[in-house]
Structure 1
């Protein structure tokens, strides 16, 4: 391991880096360039590493990007609750028996969360019961 790599600390999984970068982007008021992200990370990652991670996140449709000068500026496609909802939907879509998954999920909800879900689904949600 080079001295430069040691100075940056232990290697972390890409998912952790994506989460860290997503947090930086969510806290920003405007879209950020890779250089701005690298700076806000305090030099933890090289510029090229930040570009690679941002490009992957854009490919996964987690980020919008627009041209700013010679670079792209990135911003999240949604907020944190929106990303959580996307993850939940992805898990549901990966399963063949959606009804069983939804039933198990509903059974695991607290009374408070179940009531909230009923409210969010609208007045017709209780008519089937």
Structure 2
């Protein structure tokens, strides 16, 4: 994955995580740090990749399983699932969920509000 940056040039904050996440989401299987390093083709240190993967695991973005002496990492969800997860985390950070949901729906464009109503209407009633 060639980033077009000069060797030694620093990435913007979060850019390496985004690159790693995109790589893992496009992979058909979990990848070890060494495999991630080979795919990034960026002159990174192995320890940097391990650190990034470990931090992403700690944030709940990745799962990991033992593969030989290393861990193999995979995303917990696809891109849409991760976006939904971030939305839920932000909503849960506010103590008044009803107010957050009300404001969210009030601010939706008409088409999105209609889609949300349709999706909610398709859900089975929960008792």
Equivalents in 2 of 1:10, 1:122: separation in Å? 48
Equivalents in 2 of 1:91, 1:34: separation in Å? 30
Q: Which runs of 5+ in 2 are unaligned?
A: 1-5
Equivalent runs, 1:19-98 vs 2, <5 Å: 19-98=18-97
Aligned length, in residue pairs: 118
- Which stretches of structure 1, 4 residues or longer, exceed 4 Å deviation after superposition? none
Segment drifting more, 24-33 vs 37-46 = 37-46
Equivalents in 2 of 1:57, 1:107: separation in Å? 33
For the pair 1:12 / 2:12, whether they are aligned, the reply is yes
Segment drifting more, 95-104 vs 115-124 = 115-124
TM-score, scaled to structure 1: 0.84
Q: Which runs of 5+ in 1 are unaligned?
A: 1-5, 125-129
Flag the structure with more relative contact order, 1 or 2, with Cα contacts below 8 A and sequence separation at least 6. 2
Question: Larger radius of gyration, structure 1 or 2?
Answer: 1
TM-score, scaled to structure 2: 0.85
Distance of aligned partners of 1:112 and 1:44 in 2 relative to their CA distance in 1, 3 Å threshold: farther
Report the 3-state secondary structure (helix = DSSP H, G, I; strand = E; otherwise coil) of the residue aligned with 1:20.
helix
Report the 3-state secondary structure (helix = DSSP H, G, I; strand = E; otherwise coil) of the residue aligned with 1:7.
coil
Report the Cα offset of residue 98 of structure 1: 1.4
| Coordinate RMSD, CA, aligned | 1.6
Distance of aligned partners of 1:43 and 1:110 in 2 relative to their CA distance in 1, 3 Å threshold: same
Which structure carries more helix by proportion? 1
Equivalents in 2 of 1:11, 1:19: separation in Å? 11
